[in-house]
Amino acid sequence: MQEIFLFLLAGVRKKILRFKKHRKMKDILTVYYLEAKSARVGGRKVAWITSGGPVEPLIAMNIIPVYPENHGAMIGASKMGAGLCELSESMGYSSDLCSYARSDIACATVNGGPIGGLPRPDMLVCCNNICGTVLKWYEVQARYFNAPLFIFDTPFCHTGFGEEVRRYVRRQLDEYVSFLEKTCDRKMDGGRLAGVGKLSLEAQRLWQAVLDTTVNRPAPMCAFDAFFHLALIVTLRGTQEAVDYYRRLLERMNDRVARGVGAVADEKYRLLWDNIPVWHRTRWLSEKFASHSACLVADTYTSAWCGSMKYIDENNFFDSMAEAYTRIYLNIGVDEMARTVLAMIDKYKVDGMVMHSNRSCKPYSLGQYDIAKIVERERGIPSLIIEADMVDERSFSESQVSTRIDAFMEMIKASR
């Protein structure tokens, strides 16, 4: 317990010097992880859940949701990824497997990583709307912790969303609630779930509004800020705390817009980021782009947590979850992904796209060359592909990436 405090406090102290704004987030996350770590003392249960999974029923049941992927991001940001990945490889896992999965599986066996491991799960909820790896990953962890596993299956939407898919996913929502009721030995409060749904939608609207402040020139924040502020919309979606946090953040961003303050002081070029961040290199990348007066004003990653809002029915949150959780960015065909990207290019007035070809994340990286071609054809905008990995620092070559970014920026500058 003490080590979590020390880690997070060290983080707080370090950040204060550079970014005073981040203190509140660190405080919230410290309390969140402390609560999760001491859940048993408080008589609460802990559920591990995938990043794109339906979390609202857990919040309504007073279960603490914990996100191995979020933990993976923390491992990556703390540059502890390579060590944990090597450990998982010595356990027999392939180096071709997702580095979130590898580092999480390894971390569980040694209680390692930046916060001394995640709290033991009482249950696991695995939604495959983000990828197929999570199925095996969660099966491994369910076996290791001897905890019940619920699999929420969301069929891939190649071209659209049919009635049979809606019925299929909707029925699983009932099964999901039954699973939670059985595991916790108490009934779901329908009224409470509706309330959590309202808060979830409100937080998503606020998050979208925060991201939309970057339509301004200069953009008051950049994708690297969004990667940071994202934590709560992932982990505490459906709570009042997340709503309050994003309301304050929106006010602050609007204030920066009013004062003309930009994330990149001399913003000249506006770029779009695609894929999960290179967590162990966010600062380096941020400084690299800023040195070219380039601001990553939007990204396909952080907007995924509000991207399917259009399918949510405010007055019938529970039923509409079936569609909203199935039609997320990583569960749709390349053509629809490209349409989403084109809409973002138009909205944020983007000059170029930076795509992280992520060795770990096949569903996110597959189709990037096609999307780059579509974007070039439809908008005449160039794309840069960077090869790296979100957590495993061994898959990053600084001089190679540096040359590509420099050349890409030279190309964009010359085209002006």
Partner 1 sequence: MITAGIDIGSISTKATVLSDGKLLGTRLIFTGYNAEAAGRAVFEELLKELGLERSAIRRVISTGYGRNSVKFVDKAVTEITCHGAGAHYLDPLVRSIIDIGGQDSKAIVIDGKGKVKNFAMNDKCAAGTGRFLEVMARALEVDLEVFGNLSLRAGNPSKISSLCTVFAESEVISLISKGESRENIIAGIHESIAARVAAMANRVGMIPPLVMTGGVAKNAGVVKALEKKLGFSILVSGYAQVNGAIGAAVLAMNIK
Binding site for partner 1 (CB under 8 A): 369, 376, 382, 385, 387, 397, 399-400, 403-404, 406-407, 410-411, 414-415
Alpha-carbon 315 to chain mean position: 26
Query: Residue 397 Cβ, how far from partner 1 at the closest point, in Å?
Result: 4
Residues 6+ apart with CB under 8 A from 356: 273, 274, 275, 276, 277, 278, 365, 386, 388, 390
Query: Residue 399 Cβ, how far from partner 1 at the closest point, in Å?
Result: 6
Query: Residue 349 Cβ, how far from partner 1 at the closest point, in Å?
Result: 21
Q: How many CB atoms lie within 10 A of CB 260?
A: 10
Query: Residue 179 Cβ, how far from partner 1 at the closest point, in Å?
Result: 43
Give the residue with the Cβ less far from partner 1, 255 or 406.
406
Give the residue with the Cβ less far from partner 1, 263 or 386.
386
Query: Residue 296 Cβ, how far from partner 1 at the closest point, in Å?
Result: 20
Contact (Cβ atoms closer than 8 angstroms) between residue 338 and residue 371: yes
Give the residue with the Cβ less far from partner 1, 155 or 367.
367
Three-class secondary structure of residue 58 per DSSP: helix
Contact (Cβ atoms closer than 8 angstroms) between residue 121 and residue 46: yes
Give the residue with the Cβ less far from partner 1, 109 or 397.
397
Query: Residue 133 Cβ, how far from partner 1 at the closest point, in Å?
Result: 22
Q: How many CB atoms lie within 10 A of CB 185?
A: 6
Report residue 135 as tokens: 């199925």
DSSP state string for 281-297: GHHHHHHHHHHTTEEEE
Give the residue with the Cβ less far from partner 1, 3 or 376.
376
Contact (Cβ atoms closer than 8 angstroms) between residue 111 and residue 117: yes
Q: State the amino acid at position 393 in one-letter form.
A: E
Give the residue with the Cβ less far from partner 1, 21 or 379.
379
Exposure of 306 in the CB half-sphere (CA atoms within 13 A) = 24
